[in-house]
């Protein structure tokens, strides 16, 4: 097995953390979490979007997104309206106040990007973004192996997963009584 420090998920997490370390103070100064910023940024690219699609675009779980939308709506940065074709679903859009916030934060965010590009190198940053896009596209097309594929896959492999079935009780276990 490869070293923990060389695992792809850990390398991606460390890289994300190194990048976000520069953006977090900016977001905090404007009363935003990373997730709230992702929501607002995603909303700048659409007129309105269904909540489930927003969750996909912002990489958030539905329950977490619901809580954040309530907060963003209370702050009047977003608006929610029932979907025309299904009243159970809702569509979300950014408000003028939310756009004003984006306009306020964006120059500082762009300055951080410029600092990162200057430090890391424009060409390397562009190549990294291209490679990450290619990685995502390729792995999205790759079939996902499920845990069941690995369980008891070889004669020397013993599953550590317990069976959900209970063993039948013998009459000896019952004390010989019926």
Output the domain CATH number for residue 30.
Answer: 1.10.10.10
Indicate the SS3 state at residue 86. coil
For residue 124, being part of any structural domain is answered with yes
| Tally of structural domains, the chain | 1
Show the tokens assigned to 10.
Answer: 């850990």
Q: What is this structure's pTM?
A: 0.76
For residue 165, being part of any structural domain is answered with no
pLDDT truncated to tens, each residue of the chain (178 aa)? 889 989 999 999 999 999 999 999 999 999 999 999 999 999 999 999 999 999 999 999 989 999 999 999 999 999 999 888 877 788 999 999 999 999 999 999 999 999 999 999 999 999 999 999 999 999 999 999 877 666 655 555 555 555 454 455 544 444 444 4
Domain that includes residue 119, residue range: 8-138
Best CA proximity match to 94, nearest among 38, 52, 56, 31: 38
Residue 107 near residue 66, CB atoms below 8 Å:
no
Using the structure block, give the residue that is written with the tokens 């850990």: 10
For residue 70, being part of any structural domain is answered with yes
Best CA proximity match to 90, nearest among 57, 63, 52: 52
For residue 161, being part of any structural domain is answered with no
For residue 40, being part of any structural domain is answered with yes
Indicate the SS3 state at residue 159. coil
């Amino acid at each position: 097995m490869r070293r923990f420090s060389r695992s792809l998920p850990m390398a991606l997490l460390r890289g994300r953390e190194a990048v976000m370390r520069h953006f977090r103070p900016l977001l905090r100064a404007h009363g935003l979490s990373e997730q709230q910023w992702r929501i607002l940024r995603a909303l700048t690219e659409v007129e309105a979007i269904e909540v489930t699609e927003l969750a996909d675009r912002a990489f958030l779980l539905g329950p977490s997104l619901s809580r954040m939308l309530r907060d963003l709506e209370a702050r009047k940065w977003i608006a929610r309206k029932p979907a025309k074709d299904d009243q159970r679903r809702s569509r979300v859009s950014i408000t003028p106040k939310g756009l004003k916030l984006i306009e306020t934060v964006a120059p500082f965010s762009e300055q951080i990007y410029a600092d990162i590009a200057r430090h890391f190198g424009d060409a390397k940053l562009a190549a990294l973004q291209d490679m990450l896009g290619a990685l995502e596209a390729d792995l999205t097309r790759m079939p996902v192996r499920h845990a069941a594929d690995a369980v008891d896959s070889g004669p020397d492999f013993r599953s550590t997963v317990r069976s959900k079935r209970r063993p039948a009780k013998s009459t000896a276990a019952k004390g010989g009584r019926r």
